């Protein structure tokens, strides 16, 4: 899959003490932030554009309306962060910890999750288009009632994932290791491997009301 990659300005300003900056401004544009803290910040609006955010802490950060464009996050901690009704366009999330991250009712397009841990992540009712999960550990990610188009999981370990009531088109999970999927009756439009089919057969039979003796 060919995704758009973030376009970052070579003349980005290095920003320090981001918490103080955000008390007077709701926009980060063409900046570099490293080893800083967004932790426990609660705000109604935040726009992040053409920026690089590295090894920064978003623990318990809550933004009512987050808009991210052409931005990379590397080695960040998003534990228990809340970004409902957010928008993510052309974004790289690399080496992140996303435990308990809330991204429901959101729009994600041309987004890459790479070498990240997604545990108890809530993607409910969100729309995904041109998305890559690469080398991620996925443990209890919830895509209930989400819409997924052109989404690929490569070299991921999927311990538990929920696709109940999801609508999917050109979704490929065949190149990942899968332990458990909930909502297998919603897998229309998904590509899986033969081995995965055999593994999922009991769940498919159960949801279809088929008894196997």
Query: What is the per-residue pLDDT across 37-85, written as a single tens digit (0 to 9) for each?
Result: 999 999 999 999 999 999 999 999 999 999 999 999 999 999 999 999 9
Q: Which residue has the tokens 């108890």?
A: 120
Residue 205 has a pLDDT of: 60
Q: Give the DSSP letter of residue 213.
A: -
CA distance 12 to 206: 54
Residue 116 has a pLDDT of: 98
**Digit-coded pLDDT (tens) for 173-204:** 999 998 888 877 778 888 988 888 777 777 76
pTM: 0.92
Winning range, highest mean pLDDT, from 7-16, 21-30, 52-61: 52-61
CA distance 129 to 117: 20
Q: Is 108 exposed, middle or buried (0-12, 13-18, 19+ CB in 10 A)?
A: buried
Q: Closest by alpha carbon to 85, among 103, 109, 69?
A: 103
CA distance 147 to 145: 7
Over residues 82-109, mean pLDDT: 98
The CATH number given to 27-207 is: 2.160.20.80
Q: Which residue ranges make up each domain of the chain?
A: 27-207
Q: Where are the alpha helices (DSSP H) in 44-126?
A: none
Strand, helix or coil for residue 33: strand
Q: Is the pLDDT of residue 170 over 90?
A: yes
| Beta pairing partners, 9 | none
Residue 179 has a pLDDT of: 87
């Amino acid at each position: 899959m060919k995704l758009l990659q973030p376009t970052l300005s070579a003349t980005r300003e290095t920003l320090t003490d981001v918490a103080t900056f955000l008390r007077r401004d709701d926009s980060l544009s063409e900046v570099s932030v490293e080893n800083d803290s967004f932790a426990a910040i609660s705000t109604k609006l935040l726009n992040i554009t053409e920026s690089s955010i590295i090894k920064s802490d978003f623990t318990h950060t809550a933004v009512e309306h987050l808009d991210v464009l052409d931005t990379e996050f590397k080695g960040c901690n998003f534990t228990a962060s809340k970004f409902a009704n957010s928008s993510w366009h052309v974004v790289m999330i690399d080496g992140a910890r996303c435990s308990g991250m809330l991204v429901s009712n959101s729009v994600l397009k041309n987004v890459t999750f790479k070498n990240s841990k997604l545990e108890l992540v809530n993607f409910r009712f969100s729309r995904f288009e041109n998305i890559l999960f690469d080398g991620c550990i996925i443990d209890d990610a919830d895509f209930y009632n989400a819409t997924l188009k052109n989404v690929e999981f490569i070299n991921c370990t999927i311990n538990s994932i929920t696709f109940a009531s999801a609508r999917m088109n050109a979704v490929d999970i065949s190149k990942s290791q899968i332990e458990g999927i909930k909502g297998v009756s919603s897998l229309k439009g998904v590509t899986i491997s033969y081995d995965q089919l055999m593994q999922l057969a009991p769940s498919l039979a159960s949801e279809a009301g088929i008894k196997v003796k």
